[in-house]
Amino acid sequence: PLEIFLSDYTPPAYLVDTVELVFKLHPTATRVISKIAFRPNPEAMDRTFYLHGEQLKLIWAKIDGKDAQAKVTDLGLTAQAPDAPFIFEAEVEISPQTNTALEGLYMSNGMYCTQCEAEGFRKITYYPDRPDVMGVFTVTIEGDEKVKLSNGNDLGGGKWHDPWPKPAYLFALVAGDLVNHPDTFTTMSGKEVELNIWVRKGDLNKCAFGMDALKRSMKWDEEVYGREYDLDLFNIVAVDDFNMGAMENKGLNIFNSSAVLASPETSTDANFERIEAIIAHEYFHNWTGNRITCRDWFQLCLKEGLTVYRDSQFTADERSPAVKRIEDVIALRARQFREDNGPLAHPVRPESFVEINNFYTATVYEKGAEVIGMLKTLIGDEDYYKGCDLYFTRHDGQACTIEDWLACFEEVTGRDLTQFKLWYSQAGTPRVGVKEAWKDGTYTLTFTQHTPPTPGQDTKDPKVIPIAVGLLNDAGEEVHATRICEVTDEVHAFRFTGLDAKPVPSINRGFSAPIILEQDQDNATRAFLLANDTDPFNKWEAGRALARDVMIRMVTEDATPDQAYLDALLAVARDDTLDPAFKALVFSTPSADDIAQALFDGGVTPDPTKIYHVTQTLRQSVAHAMQDTLPRIYAEMQVDGPFSPDAEAAGKRAWGNVALSLLTRLDGGAQARAQFESADNMTQQLSALGALLRAEVGEDASKAFYEQWKDDRLVIDKWFSMQVTYAKLAAAPATAKALTNHPDFDMTNPNRFRAVFGALAGNTAGFHSPDGSGYALLADWLIKLDAKNPQTAARMSTAFETWKRYDADRQGMMREALERMKAAPNLSGDLLEMVTRILN
Ligand code: B3K
Ligand code: ZN
């Protein structure tokens, strides 16, 4: 496998003006006839005519009407081409039916669909499959399918034309027996856009929410970024077999059905929120990704970091900014910090890769979004939107780099962003220490920064870190409004003057920088901030720090649950001014994986079994401490009337279900059973099922759940995953293994595979069960899956990325599992790259 370097970029030899494609659909012998107008690129350094192509059967190829005398390898085609504009034509044969990798043209439940990002178009026909080659596509689809869709505008009779030049990765085709949920949207300049969500017949009742989310996204992008939609038609299609959430193909977004189909009976509040965010994300790509795309795949964060940032702004505006920020930071720590602290750490803009699909990571996406957020904090809202406007006008229709993006902000602010750019090139999570000093009315905070080594990067330069700081007095009043401390040096002090008394600092408010803050703070101060901080994020963060400390002392000192923590929780529960969704987040305890990393950072080898027991003991103590309050909370949080997925109702359900889960530890499941039986929506039903399963009294409910939902594949995914998620300790691998024998288990469907094995990887104590059965089982199945679907197998191998944290026995067993995968015959380049990097 070939390693590709950012520094080796060269412009394409030929550019494309127009592409005409004819598809003669057939499950095992689809013919693709292409006619491509090429012209020499004046900026190219050589004239080699090379087209990518994989798993294609070439029937014929012509240049300007004559046999091209093409030379074909497993990876592409070369031919002698003129040093002037010319027409290349070819016919190839492909087999969508047997394409289980779900990349290129494939079939899902009898329906044709495509996934081309990053490099799937080369499995459809010969083409310069790189994002800096953009062409105008006209597509004709021939076949008996009732519905035939491609990008752009519908010319009728299966013919489509997309007027916007685009890279091949944004090409899409769908054909099948589909029905649509239609609507319209009038843009800010008064143009009417036809909207459709295309689904299989039985799913038509699950489209309304997604459509509403789409219209809200279109409006939001007009209002906040001034971006209008640019075609007469916008189509979304739901497919069951899909490697990720969704794909932003121009005018024809293709979605994993789990990321678009929603109904109160079958979707949880978390599902609704995720669907809304993904619909917004894919829609927002129309400007950040499609109109302006990436020069090469190293620039992936240019579109992904920015688009994640934009969708998080949207969710914050539509729902609660505080809750969204807390949720994002929980996810960032769980996935991105974990990645940054292990063998897979890489910069937001990687400098080399073997398989680009392995770099659609939390670092590129979520840390990439944090970098945009920091940029906005540093330069202020006004200049941020000015810079974006400049980017949109200057680069419309181009394939760009991070340098192009940053230059727009340098220009509008006059500020040198050289040091800021280190956020794109240096991997690893900065550790920021802070010390305080108080003298003569002046309060000084001295920050120190240090980023640990990561693979290929032993030393790091200091970055510019925007740390939002506010100060409180001991009555809990704000005595210094939030100020951004721009830490630029290894040691950097900031003074606050004119204070009457030594204040209590609230540092990194709103999580203004994605760092690990190393602060000597006692639990009394944490409890004080949890009660008083005016910054909602740091209020929550103080509670989280308290919980983490309590758990760590329970693990390392066999301490009993700290009364100060229990009292603080009780105060939060009783505070009627707080949003129920916020209370639910304060009550969530750090995950086992969080605690394992925190222990490891503190020089202690984590024992997942012990962490499991500590978590249970702590939750049990919380339940006891809250005994008298829980029934009242539970009763007050019942939402009457017809179901609504809005943030307020969802927040009440979330807080009510925290109460339910604690109550279940006291009442043996009576209340949970009652809720399970009377629930009229999935949030209530699934929360009750979870509480029962965790209490090990959920067997009947689980059977009933299966019987009720056996015809709904998305709900049955939940059923598979719940059993593994709530299996106790070593029962998790055994449960996962048994589920693979269930008639509804289908390894070729990524959602179903993830339901079982994603849940196993997420069950920390179960995955790390001391007999090694979790490791062995996952390795077995990743090897099996790799033969069919390398992308999903490679992605799920990250379950092993934390192996160096653990004791010698566990390390040995994980290494063995990794080595076994590495040695498996015919392993894909995708999985091979991942296990090799993890082992190093
Ligand atoms: N751009 C796609 C991801 C493609 C992943 C390819 N392995 C979805 C998104 O980020 O919107
Ligand atoms: Zn994206």
* Contacting residues for 635 by C-beta, under 8 A, at least 6 apart: none
Average pLDDT, the chain: 98
- Return the SS3 of 441: coil
Rounded CA separation 249/763 (Å): 35
Q: How far is the CA of 690 from the centre of ligand 2 (A)?
A: 31
Rounded CA gap, 782 and 798, in Å?
11
Residues forming beta bridges with residue 439, ordered by sequence position: 442
Nearest CA to ligand 1 atom 8: 247
In this model, does residue 824 exceed pLDDT 80?
yes
pLDDT at 408: 99
Ligand 2 center to 832 CA (angstroms): 25
What is the arithmetic mean of pLDDT over 759-781? 98
Mutational test site, ligand 1, from 106, 244, 361, max ligand atoms within 8 Å of CB = 244
* Atom 4, ligand 1: residue with shortest CA distance: 117
Ligand 1: which atom is nearest the Cα of residue 308? Answer: 10
Closest ligand 1 atom to Cα of 118: 6
- Closest ligand 1 atom to Cα of 282: 11
Proximal ligand: closest to the CA of 303: 2
Q: Whose CA is nearest to atom 3 of ligand 1?
A: 247
A 10 A CB-CB count for 744 gives 14
Cα dist. 514→90, 306, 603, 677 in Å? 50, 16, 22, 43
Average pLDDT over every residue of 530-547: 98
CA distance linking residue 83 with residue 795, whole number of Å: 42
Contact 241, 750 (CB under 8 A): yes
**Closest CA to ligand 1's atom 1:** 247
Going from the Cα of 117 to the center of ligand 1, the distance in angstroms, rounded, reads 6
Tokens 């050589």 sit on residue: 46
Query: At residue 17, does pLDDT exceed 90?
Result: yes
Q: What does each C-alpha distance from 487 to 373, 448, 464, 480, 538 come to in angstroms?
A: 16, 8, 6, 18, 19
78 — phi, psi (to 5°)? -125, 155
pLDDT surpasses 80 at 68? yes
Q: Which ligand is nearest to the CA of 304?
A: 2
Domains identified in the chain and CATH numbers: 1-96+111-175 (2.60.40.1730), 178-291 (3.30.2010.30), 302-425 (1.10.390.10), 431-513 (2.60.40.1840), 710-840 (1.25.50.10)
In tens, the pLDDT along 173-203 reads: 999 999 999 999 999 999 999 999 999 999 9
At 1, is the pLDDT very low, low, confident or very high (cuts 50, 70, 90)?
confident
Return d(Cα 364, Cα 348) in angstroms, integer.
Answer: 5
Active site residue 282: yes
- Nearest CA owner, ligand 1 atom 10: 304
User: Best mutation site among 274, 302, 304, 365 for ligand 1, i.e. most ligand atoms within 8 A of its Cβ?
Assistant: 304
Mean pLDDT within 210-214: 99
Q: Are 467 and 487 in contact (CB under 8 A)?
A: yes
**Residue 395 to residues 39, 401, 435, Cα–Cα distance (Å):** 22, 10, 44
Q: Percent of the chain at pLDDT above 70?
A: 100
The 8-class DSSP code of residue 639 comes to: P
Among protein residues, the one with the nearest Cα to ligand 1's atom 2 is 247
Residue whose C-alpha is closest to residue 241's, from 753, 761, 794, 759: 753
Ligand 1 surroundings by CB, under 6 angstroms: 117-118, 244, 246-248, 281-282, 285, 304, 357, 360
C-beta of residue 53 within 8 angstroms of C-beta of residue 126: yes
**Which atom number of ligand 1 is nearest to the Cα of residue 289?**
1
Nearest CA to ligand 1 atom 9: 247
Ligand 1 atom with the smallest distance to the CA of 245 is 8
When pLDDT is cut at 50, 70 and 90, the band that residue 694 belongs to is very high
- Say which amino acid occupies 156: G
Ligand number nearest to the C-alpha of 305: 2
Name the nearest CA neighbour of 561 among 614, 634, 497: 614
pLDDT tens digit sequence for 802-822: 999 999 999 999 999 999 999
Which ligand minimizes its atom distance to the CA of 245? 1
- Residue 169 Cα to ligand 2 middle (Å): 13
CB 172 within 8 A of CB 150: yes
Q: Which ligand is nearest to the CA of 282?
A: 1
Atom of ligand 1 nearest to the CA of 278: 11
Q: What is the pLDDT of residue 140?
A: 99
pLDDT tens across 760-770, in order?
999 999 999 99
Q: Output the CA 230–ligand 2 centroid distance in Å.
A: 19
DSSP code string of 73-96: -SSEEE----SS-EEEEEEEEE-G
Contact call for residues 44 and 50 (beta carbons, < 8 A): no
- Whole-angstrom CA distances from 348 to 256, 767, 783, 790, 797 are 26, 29, 29, 23, 20
Determine whether 695 is exposed, middle or buried from the number of CB atoms within 10 Å of its CB (0-12, 13-18, 19+).
middle
DSSP string for 399-444? EE-HHHHHHHHHHHH----TTTTHHHH--SPPEEEEEEEEETTEEE
Among the listed residues 276, 282, 366, 541, the single catalytic one is: 282
Instruction: Indicate the pTM of the whole model.
Output: 0.99
Q: Does residue 309 surpass a pLDDT of 90?
A: yes
Tokens of 441: 């009315």
Closest by CA to 396, choosing from 185, 517, 226, is 226
Task: Summarize the confidence of residues 434-455 as an average pLDDT.
Answer: 98
Ligand 2 geometric centre to CA of 217 (Å): 15
Residue 678 burial (CB count, 10 A):
10
The Å distance, Cα 365 to ligand 2 centre, comes to 8
Residue of minimum CA distance from atom 5 in ligand 1? 117
Residue 282 CA to ligand 2 center (angstroms) comes to 6
State the Cα–Cα distance between residues 610 and 137, nearest whole angstrom: 58
